[in-house]
Amino acid sequence: MTEPDSLQRAEELLSRLEETRAELGKVSAEGNADAAIGILAELAEIARQVEMELERAKREADAGES
């Protein structure tokens, strides 16, 4: 995957993160604790994927500078 691909993937994941966070707000307002717990787990996974993509993009950028 190239640096622009990694950054594009990270942007897509960030968008998904925002959508999921909005969903968490909705279920929290409804008082649905079980759904909120599931969404929190999903948010954690998305955040982990974002971090991986950003690290990959940084490595690729650093390799390009060498």
pLDDT at res. 59? 87
Secondary structure of residue 31 in the 3-state scheme: coil
List the chain domain ranges.
3-65
Q: pLDDT tens digits, residue range 31-60?
A: 999 999 999 999 999 989 988 888 888 888
Asked if residues 57 and 2 have their Cβ atoms less than 8 Å apart, the reply is no
Query: For residues 54 and 23, which has the higher predicted lDDT (pLDDT)?
Result: 23
What's the pTM value of the predicted model, to 2 decimals? 0.77
Mean pLDDT, all residues of the chain: 88
Degrees (nearest 5) of the Cα angle 19, 22, 27?
125
Statement: residue 66 has pLDDT above 70: no
Share of the chain above pLDDT 90, in %: 48
Structure token pair of residue 47: 């955040």
**DSSP 8-class letter at 61:** H
